Structure 1
Amino acid sequence: MSTTILIADDHAVVREGIRGLLRLDPRFVIVGEAADGETATDIAREHAPDVVLLDLMMPGIGGVAATRAIKAASPRTHIMILTSSNDDELAFAAIEAGAQSFLLKSMRGENLLQAIHYASIGESTMHPSIARRILSAVQQRNQPAADPFGELTERELDVLRRLAEGGSNAKIAAHLGITEKTVKAHLGNVMSKLQLSDRTAAVAFAWREGLMARRAS
C-alpha cells in the first residue's frame, strides 16, 4: 500500500535530495512540493497526504502556523518536522500546533525512510535531543508560574496574537486599524518585555506559552 507524501521546504536543493531519497522506496508516492507554508497548506487541502515533511523555517506563514493550518485542512495527515533548527521554543510550538514527529536534517537517510514508514502507520518519531528538551519543558510548565504575558498591554497581546496567526505587519495593521509603524513599535515592546530575539521567537513563545488558547479580547 502506497504512502502519499508532501515535501515542504524553501530550499530547492533540500527538496531535491528528499525526493531522490524517497524514490528509493516504492511504497512512497510524492503528491506535491512546496516552498512556503501557504502552498503546503493548499496542497494538503487538495491531496490530504498521509505524511507531510515540513521545514520550520520557511517564508510566509512559517512552519508552526503551517502545521496548524495543515492539520485543520487534513486532520489525518501526519506532520513530520524535518529541520536544521535546534530552537527549543520553536520545536515545542510546532508540536503543540499538531506536529507528530520531529527530526533533524542531519539524520541518516535510511533512518528518515524508517521514520516515514512509522508515520504511515501512525507512530511518531522524535530525535532524542528534541525529546529530552520537550520533556524538560513540560516538567517546567507543570510548576506554578507567573503569567508569562503579564507585562504586555492588551494592544501588545493583540499584535502578538495576530503575528502568531501568521499575519504580516500590513495585515496586523489593517485588522487592528493602526499603522504599520505602530505595529512595529508594539512588536518591539513585546520582544523587549519578553526578552525575545526576533519575530520567529515571538511566534514560538506565543504558541508554547498558551497565548493562542486564550480567548482574544
Structure 2
Amino acid sequence: MTINIVAADSHPIVLMALENLLSSEPDLHLSALCTNGAQCLDAVREHTPDILIIDIAMSEMDGFEVLRRLADQNPSIRVVLFTASVDEHQLKQAMRLGVAGIVLKCMAPSFLVQCLRKVVAGGQWFEKVSSGRALASMLKREDGLRQVSGILTSREIELTRLVSDGLGNRDIADRLHISEGTVKVHLHRIYRKLGLKNRIALGCFAREIGLV
C-alpha cells in the first residue's frame, strides 16, 4: 500500500531533506511540499493525503491553526508533528487536536519513517525525551491542581498563581478587579489553609506541586 503524504514546513531546506528521505522509501509517496499554512490547506484539499507532516512554527498561520481548520475539512487525516521541540502547552494542544505522532528534527531520519508507517497503521508515535518531559510536567500540574483544589477556592488558586508570577498586591488587585485589602484577606486565608508564612513560601509551594 502506498502512503500518500503532504509535508508543510517554513524552511525549504527541511522540505528538500524530507523529499530526499521519502523518495527512497517505495511505500511513501510525497504528493506536495508546502511552505505556509495556506498552501498546506490547499494541498490537503487537492490530494487528500493519508498523512500530513507539519511543523508547529509556520508562516501566516502556525501548525495548530492549520490543524484546527482541517478538523472540519478532513477529520480522517493522520497528523505527524515534525518540529524542533515541544513543550507542555504544545503537547496539550497536539493531543486535543488528535495529533498521532511527534518527531523532533534532531532525531535520526529513520525515526520519522518508522513513525509514518506506525501512524498510518492506526498507531501513535511520540518522541520520548521531549514529549515525555512535557507529559510528565502536564500530569504533575494536573495532579497538583487536584490536590490544591480540595483546599483552596478557585479564586485563591488564581491568586496563588499570580503571587508565584511575582505580582505584588496592587498588581494582583488590578488584574482581578478587586481591592488591595481583599487581596490581603485572600492571602491571609491561603497562608492559614496551607500552613505557610509568606508569599515566598507560597511561590515555592506552587512551583513544587506544578501549579505554575
Q: TM-score, normalised by structure 1?
A: 0.63
Aligned to 1:105: 105
The residue that corresponds to 2:31 in the other structure is: 31
Mapped contact 1:67–1:94 kept (Cα < 8 A): no
- How many residues align structurally? 150
8 Å CA contact 2:88–2:137 kept in 1: the answer is no
Regions of 4+ moved over 6 Å? none
Alpha carbons 1:63, 1:94 under 8 Å: kept: no
Q: Could you tell me which residue of structure 1 aligns to residue 128 of structure 2?
A: 128
Instruction: Quote the offset at 1:93 in angstroms.
Output: 1.5
Gaps of 5+ in 2: 160-174, 176-212
Contact 1:71-1:98 within 8 A present in 2 as well: no
CA, structure 1 residues 88+19, in 2 after alignment: closer, same or farther (shift >3 Å)? Answer: same
Equivalent residue number for residue 80 of structure 1: 80
Give, as a single letter, the amino acid of the residue that structure 2 aligns with 1:61: M
Corresponding residue for residue 180 of structure 2: none
Deviations 1:114-164 (A, max 9, x none): 1111111111100112034224314523534647xx79xxxxxxxxxxxxx
What is the Cα-based RMSD across aligned positions, in Å?
A: 2.0
Mapped contact 2:8–2:15 kept (Cα < 8 A): yes
Quote the offset at 1:111 in angstroms. 1.5
Please say if residues 83 and 105 of structure 1, whose CA atoms lie closer than 8 Å, have aligned partners that are also in contact.
yes
Aligned to 1:190: none
Segment drifting more, 49-58 vs 32-41: 32-41
> In 2, distance between residues paired with 1:62 and 1:136?
23
Where does residue 118 of structure 1 map in the other structure?
118
Larger Rg: 2
One-letter amino acid of the structure 2 residue matched with residue 24 of structure 1: S
Conservation of the 8 A alpha-carbon contact between 1:68 and 1:98: no
CA distance in 1, matches of 2:100, 2:76: 11
The C-alpha deviation readout for 1:78-114, integer Å capped at 9, x for no partner, is: 1000000343312322222221111101111111111
How far 1:60 sits from its partner (Å)? 1.2
Could you state the TM-score of these two structures normalised by the residue count of structure 2? 0.64
**1:45 maps to which residue?**
45
SS in structure 1 at match of 2:7: strand
Q: Structure 1 regions of 5+ residues with no counterpart?
A: 152-192, 194-217
Amino acid in structure 1 at the alignment position of 2:12 = A
In the alignment, the residues of structure 2 paired with residue 92 and residue 136 of structure 1 have an alpha-carbon distance, to the nearest angstrom, of 11
Q: Which has the higher contact order (CA 8 A, sep 6+)?
A: 1
- Retained in 1: the 8 A contact 2:5–2:29? yes
Change (3 A) 1:89 1:73: same
Q: 1:131 and 1:68, CA in 2 relative to 1: closer, same or farther beyond 3 A?
A: farther
Task: Please show how residues 142-161 of structure 1 align to structure 2 within 5 Å.
Answer: 143-144=145-146, 146=154
Matched-pair identity in %: 23
Q: In structure 2, how many angstroms separate the alpha carbons of the residues matched to 1:68 and 1:138?
A: 24
Mapped to 2, the partners of 1:24 and 1:39 lie a distance apart of 25
User: Which residue identity is paired with 1:88?
Assistant: E
In structure 2, the partner of 1:54 is 54
Contact 1:21 1:109 (8 Å CA) reproduced: yes
Structure 2 residue identity aligned to 1:95 = M
Amino acid at match of 1:58: M
